[in-house]
């Protein structure tokens, strides 16, 4: 029987309140109540700037379109089909990124060939072409569940026993906005991690400092602090302030929980080096960090790889049930390189949104970045046993969230062109929990616009578009989150049979 | 000894003033310490103090001071250069760099964080602990190495007397919280000696470090 602790109690109260408040129609989907371990992990891979679905898994061959020269179609030879799967891939070489001279190769087919059984494409019709709003709605389903985010809901459902249920490894975007439901317990809101390399140092009060501190005496000093605070007039007058009480709460059980698990050593990514002399500071790192560094070798240069490496550690050590990561809007270059150096560019300015300058090349490069990170995470999570022969990956989902789509047209026959923001698009979900090897709905090759599907059967429906709330519901339901309190629609077609 | 005499004096005062139980209880915790301008505690000051009743705010609101402001205040109080307060791996400034966002900083240019976090993250109190321990440890180490030139723990010695602990404790309050310590607060600091005594030759330094830590990370120091 599940224990009724503070977190469970608050969770139940929050869910009950919201369900009533929404007052929506009945819902057929309800997760099974079972004593089994239902823990699931959500990885939000935030494709900031507008990842166009027709530049990856829904790419259109020129021969399929009545308007091949003016719609964003590809020469047939560039669009790969994999093992008879409906999922597509674009493989191309470029020697510039918009106006930036930069040679690179994008081979999407490697990823699709490897993971197509776990890949599902869901068309969407978004409701805003504003970056911040589109990003936020991609994780709130356009505020359908009292403004709760997917990450908060997953943390609320599965994160009660996790030290930091909802980790935000990227910052400053709508993907990591705080939801608007204040009734949720505090621990489900995102913990910001702005520097994946040094952040783990903030997981222990005294380890890794320049001089050792006796743990027993530190505990007594904390007791002394409590006594001094009791006697302080400041505390006697203002002790009921929410911020004070919350601070005092954080420095007790939550702090003890992370310190007791030695997370500072487990989550530090870097090895012993002159730059990071771990042993000099009484630190050791972990074997799993070594594994993460091998899979993400640019961890020290590319912030996205550092985020991915730490995301793996957070999941593998059961610290978090939801991690959000993504490329920044800043130019990232290899250490010591200038933008004109061969292979120097890691991340273009404004990420996917640099498609304003060079759509085809930017989409190719950025999708390659997304796939590289997703591939690394999947491999690492597959290599870790969760329990009873099940891997962490068996319980995980990668949601490549994005702001919106890109415009579908181009000047006649242009190979590089500028695109704007478009409401029409689709998202990619990768997980053993979804209806894999599937493109739900479809794309009209004559317009480049995607269309929807029947939520129950998955049959394509040319006259239908999928709402943000439907994608939101389908993600939660595939993860086993009970969506009945919010009476979300049943998206049966998005779940594994 | 001090504590017992203080309590007896306060109870007597409370009865004399006809206070109810609640007022008596409150006044026990809030008697002025009777410390003179020179920073020396006076044991018999209690008997001169009026009884003060503290009423909790009915609309208590506080604001987090912010890591940068707190760190600057800490450096000034401990007579340390701001840059030597705390550095992770001896290189990365704790308050201005590594734990900057957790402690309420903003960084709009790269991180696109335009506003301080609305609520303290889990790591904020831990980051404050790290900064305070580093800074307090450094201050104690310097004062212990050269007591004649000590800036805070002037009476630091192998086995300081209660009076010496009270003097150091009061100076700690003056320099960090800009007020005198109350007698009952000094009583707690004196009693804390028993918790570090087993450190032997390092006991005084340990007392100084951890007493400083307790005050520096108190909510009174971190919020206003």
> Tens of pLDDT along B67-122?
999 999 999 999 999 999 999 999 999 999 999 999 999 999 888 899 999 899 99
Q: In Å, what is the CA distance from A235 to each residue of A229, A243, A248, B55?
A: 6, 12, 11, 11
Chain A environment of B215 (Cβ under 8 Å): 225, 228
The verdict on A198 touching B (C-beta cutoff 8 Å) is: yes
**Residues from chain B contacting residue A255 (CB–CB below 8 Å):** 122, 125-126
Per-residue model confidence (pLDDT) at position B193: 97
Q: Which residues contact A160 (CB under 8 A, 6 or more apart)?
A: A5, A7, A8, A11
> Hey, are the CB atoms on A239 and B60 less than 8 Å from each other?
yes
pTM of the model: 0.88
Q: Is B170 on the interface with A (CB under 8 A)?
A: no
Q: Is the per-residue pLDDT at A361 higher than 80?
A: yes
Query: Do A365 and A55 contact (CB within 8 A), yes or no?
Result: no
Any B CB within 8 A of A182 CB: no
User: Closest to A233 (Cβ–Cβ): which among B30, B112, B129?
Assistant: B30
Please tell me the number of Cα atoms within 13 Å of B90 on its side-chain side: 10
* Closest Cα in chain B, distance from residue A435 (Å): 36
Instruction: State the SS3 of chain A.
Output: CCCCCHHHHHHHHHHHHHHHHHCCCCCCCCCCCCCCCCCCEEEEEEECCCCCHHHCCCCCEHHHCCCCCCECCECHHHEEECCCCCCEEEEEEEEEECCEEEEEEEEHHHHHHHHHHHEEEEEEECCCCCHHHHHHHHHHCCCCCCCCCHHHHHHHHHCCCCCCCEEECCCCCHHHCCCCCCCCCHHHCCEECCCCCCHHHHHCCCCCCCCCCCHHHHHHHHHHHHHHHHHCHHHHHHCCCHHHHHHHHHCCHHHHHHHHCCHHHHHCCCCCCCCCCHHHHCCCCCHHHHHHHHHCCCCCCCHHHHHHHHHHHHHHCCCCCEEEECCCCCCEECCCCCCCCCCCEEECCCHHHHHHHHHHHHHHHHHHHHHHHHHHHHHHHHCCEEECCEECHHHEEEEEEECCEECCECCCCCCCCCCCEECEEEEEEECCCECCCEECCEECCCCCCEEEECCCCCCEECCCCCCHHHHHHHHHHHCCCCCHHHCCCCCHHHECC
Q: What chain A residue is nearest to B55 in terms of C-alpha separation?
A: A237
Question: Which residue has tokens 């560039």?
Answer: A78
Q: For chain B, positions 148-167, list CB contacts with chain A under 8 A.
A: none
Can you tell me the distance from the alpha carbon of B57 to that of B103, in angstroms, rounded to the nearest whole number? Answer: 26
Tell whether A240 is within 8 A of chain B (Cβ). yes
Which regions of B68-138 does DSSP assign to beta strands (E)?
87-88, 92-93
Beta-carbon contacts of A28 under 8 Å, excluding residues fewer than 6 positions away, are A490
Distance (Å) of CA A59 to CA A46, A65, A67, B23: 20, 11, 14, 77
Contact B218 A227 (CB under 8 A): no
Query: What residues of A are in contact with residue B189 (Cβ under 8 Å)?
Result: 224, 228
Sort out which chain B residues have CB atoms less than 8 A from A172's CB and list them.
108, 111-114
Query: CB distance B113–A191 less than 8 Å?
Result: no
Per DSSP, B87 falls in state E
Between the alpha carbon of residue A316 and those of residues A63, A262, A269, A378, B121, the distances in Å are 46, 14, 13, 12, 22
Q: Higher confidence at residue A345 or residue A88? A: A88
A272 to chain B nearest CA, in Å?
A: 11
pLDDT(A10) > 70 = no
> In the A/B pair of chains, how many CB contacts fall below 8 A?
198
**Better pLDDT: A330 or A324:** A324
Q: Within the 143-172 window of chain A, which residues sit less than 8 Å (CB to CB) from chain B?
A: 163-164, 171-172
A59-99, pLDDT tens digit by residue? 999 999 999 999 999 999 999 998 889 999 999 999 999 98
The answer to whether the Cβ–Cβ distance between A172 and B114 falls below 8 Å is yes
- Asked if A213 reaches chain B (Cβ–Cβ under 8 Å), the answer is yes
* Binary contact (A224, B117; C-beta < 8 A): no
- B54 interfaces chain A, CB cutoff of 8 Å: yes
Chain A, window 241-280: residues with a beta carbon less than 8 angstroms from a chain B beta carbon: 241, 243-244, 246-248, 250-251, 254-255, 258-259, 275-277
Which of B98, B121, B125 minimises the CB distance to A201? B98
Using CA coordinates, name the residue in chain A closest to B184. A231
Percent of chain A residues topping a pLDDT of 70? 93
Name the least confident of A177-186, A356-365, B6-15, B136-145. B6-15
Mean pLDDT of the residues in chain A: 92
| Contact list, A306 vs chain B (CB under 8 Å) | none
Question: For B17-70, what is each residue's pLDDT tens digit?
Answer: 443 443 333 334 444 433 333 334 444 445 555 677 889 999 999 999 999 999
The proportion of chain A whose per-residue pLDDT surpasses 90, expressed as a percent, equals 88
Distance of CA A221 to the CA centre of its chain: 40
Chain A nearest-CA residue for B169: A228
């Amino acid at each position: 029987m599940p224990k009724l602790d503070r977190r469970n109690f608050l969770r139940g109260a929050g869910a009950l309140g919201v369900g009533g408040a929404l007052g929506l129609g009945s819902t057929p989907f309800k997760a099974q109540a079972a004593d089994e371990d239902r823990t699931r992990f959500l990885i939000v891979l935030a494709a900031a700037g507008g990842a166009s679905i027709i530049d990856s898994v829904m790419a259109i061959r020129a021969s399929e379109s009545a308007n091949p020269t003016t719609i964003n179609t590809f020469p047939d030879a560039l669009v790969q089909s994999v093992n008879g799967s409906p999922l597509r891939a674009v493989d191309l070489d470029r020697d510039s990124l918009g106006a930036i001279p930069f040679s690179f190769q994008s081979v999407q087919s490697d990823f699709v060939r490897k993971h197509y059984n776990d890949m599902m494409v869901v068309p969407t019709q978004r409701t805003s072409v504003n970056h911040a709003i589109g990003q936020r709605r991609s994780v709130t389903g356009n505020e359908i569940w009292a403004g709760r985010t997917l990450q908060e809901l997953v943390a609320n459902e599965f994160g009660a026993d996790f030290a930091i249920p909802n980790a935000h490894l990227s910052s400053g975007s709508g993907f990591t906005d705080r939801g608007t439901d204040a009734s949720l317990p505090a621990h489900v809101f995102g913990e910001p991690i702005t520097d994946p390399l040094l952040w783990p140092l903030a997981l222990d009060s005294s380890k890794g400092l320049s001089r050792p501190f006796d743990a027993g005496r530190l505990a007594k000093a904390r007791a002394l602090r409590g006594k001094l605070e009791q006697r302080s007039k400041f505390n006697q007058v203002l002790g009921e302030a929410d911020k004070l009480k919350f601070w005092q709460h954080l420095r007790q059980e939550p702090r003890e929980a992370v310190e007791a698990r030695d997370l500072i050593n487990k989550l530090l990514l870097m090895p012993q080096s002159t730059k990071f002399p771990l042993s000099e500071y009484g630190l050791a790192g972990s074997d799993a960090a070594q594994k993460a560094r091998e899979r993400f070798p640019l961890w020290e240069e590319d912030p996205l790889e550092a985020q991915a490496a730490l995301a793996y550690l957070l999941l593998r050590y059961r610290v978090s049930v939801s991690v959000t990561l993504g490329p920044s809007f800043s130019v990232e270059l290899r250490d010591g390189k200038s933008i004109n150096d061969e292979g120097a560019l890691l991340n273009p300015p404004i990420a996917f949104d640099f498609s304003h300058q060079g759509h085809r090349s930017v989409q190719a490069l950025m999708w390659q970045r997304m796939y590289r990170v997703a591939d690394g995470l999947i491999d690492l999570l597959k290599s870790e046993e969760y329990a009873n022969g099940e891997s962490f990956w068996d319980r995980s989902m990668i949601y490549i969230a994005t702001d919106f789509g890109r415009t579908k047209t181009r000047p006649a026959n242009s190979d590089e062109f500028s695109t704007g923001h478009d409401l029409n698009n689709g998202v990619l979900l990768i997980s053993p929990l979804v209806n894999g090897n599937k493109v739900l709905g479809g794309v009209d090759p004559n317009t480049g616009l995607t269309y929807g599907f029947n939520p129950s059967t998955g049959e394509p429906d040319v006259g239908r578009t999928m709402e943000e709330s439907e994608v939101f519901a389908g993600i939660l339901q595939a993860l086993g989150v009970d969506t009945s309190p919010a009476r979300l629609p049943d998206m049966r077609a998005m779940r594994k049979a | 000894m001090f504590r017992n005499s203080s309590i007896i004096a306060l109870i007597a005062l409370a009865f004399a003033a006809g206070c109810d139980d609640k007022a008596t209880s409150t006044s026990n915790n809030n008697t002025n310490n009777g410390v003179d301008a020179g920073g020396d505690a006076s044991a018999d000051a209690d008997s001169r103090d009026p009884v003060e009743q503290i009423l909790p705010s009915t609309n208590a609101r506080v604001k987090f001071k912010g890591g940068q402001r707190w760190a600057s205040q800490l450096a000034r109080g401990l007579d340390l250069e701001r840059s030597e307060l705390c550095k992770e791996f001896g290189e990365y400034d704790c308050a201005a760099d590594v734990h900057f966002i957790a402690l309420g900083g903003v960084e709009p240019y790269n991180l696109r964080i335009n506003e301080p976090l609305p609520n303290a993250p889990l790591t904020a109190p831990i980051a404050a602990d790290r900064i305070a321990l580093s800074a307090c440890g450094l201050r104690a180490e310097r004062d212990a190495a050269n007591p004649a030139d000590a800036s805070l723990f002037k009476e630091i010695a192998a086995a300081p007397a209660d009076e010496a602990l009270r003097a150091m404790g009061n100076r700690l309050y003056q320099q960090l919280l800009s007020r005198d310590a109350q007698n009952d607060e000094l009583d707690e600091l004196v009693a804390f000696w028993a918790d570090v005594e087993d450190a032997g030759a390092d006991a005084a330094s340990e007392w100084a470090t951890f007493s400083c830590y307790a005050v520096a990370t108190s909510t009174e120091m971190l919020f206003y």
